[in-house]
Amino acid sequence: MIKHLHLEKKGLRGLAIAESFSQNSKKSILAGVVMRRDFIIDGFVFGKATLEGNDATDEILQMYQKLDRQDISYLLISGIIISMYNIVDVKKISNSLNLPVIGVTYQDSSGIEEAIKQHFPNSYETKLQAYKKLGPRHKVTLGTSSQIYIRNEGCTVEDASMLLNDLTLQGSIPEPLRVAQLLAKTILLN
């Protein structure tokens, strides 16, 4: 179901989620930042996802529930395949929360099917199914001239593109995701 993002509202709030982990960790730190479209921060939430696991989608849903807020209008997620092949189901999140979800990645790639097969030689079928279910990515050129790639659910590519342009002050990382990444990295290091 496609929802309108109400891009005309300055106070439009979104939950942006990013992660950080070290190679010897069993879990990654997920940090969520509630930020208004005018860059005012008004909430944080934290979670953990298992490296190489299958719990990222449910953890993101729990993070949203922990906030217990009705004023969040969309979710941004930095990466859809996080925590070493823990695949985020944007469709499930969008349907469960009845909100638009935009997954943002920063590199072009031809896919990770072979990497999944090599990394999970005895159990790759489930991961491949989850990956294929994500569907194609869409290339978006931001007003900063940077290109990003998105998977969107519950909103149009055009609305997602306009929102991401509004939220990106410089480079390729939208400000809410940049703050969430900094927060996740800081918590991981402490």
Sign of CA dihedral 143, 97, 4, 32: negative
Report residue 36: phi and psi, to 5°.
-75, 160
Give the pLDDT confidence score for residue 2 in this predicted structure. Answer: 58
Domains of the chain: 13-189 (3.30.2170.10)
pLDDT per residue rounded down to tens, the chain (190 residues): 556 666 666 678 999 999 999 988 899 999 999 999 999 999 999 999 999 999 999 999 999 999 999 999 999 999 999 999 999 999 999 999 999 999 999 988 877 888 888 888 888 888 888 888 888 899 999 999 999 999 999 999 999 999 999 999 999 999 999 999 999 999 998 8
Give the pLDDT confidence score for residue 125 in this predicted structure. Answer: 84
Q: What angle do CA 107, 100, 89 make, to 5 degrees?
A: 60
pTM metric for this prediction? 0.92
Give the pLDDT confidence score for residue 99 in this predicted structure. Answer: 95
Give the pLDDT confidence score for residue 143 in this predicted structure. Answer: 93
Give the pLDDT confidence score for residue 134 in this predicted structure. Answer: 87
Sign of CA dihedral 185, 165, 57, 23: negative
Give the pLDDT confidence score for residue 4 in this predicted structure. Answer: 61
One-letter amino acid at 19 equals: E
Cα–Cα dist 49/86, whole Å: 8
Instruction: Kindly state the tokens that stand for 177.
Output: 């995701």
Print the SS3 string covering 105-172: ECCCCCCCHHHHHHHCCCCHHHHHHHHHHCCCCEEEECCCCCEEEEEEECCCHHHHHHHHHHHCCCCC
One-letter amino acid at 166 equals: D
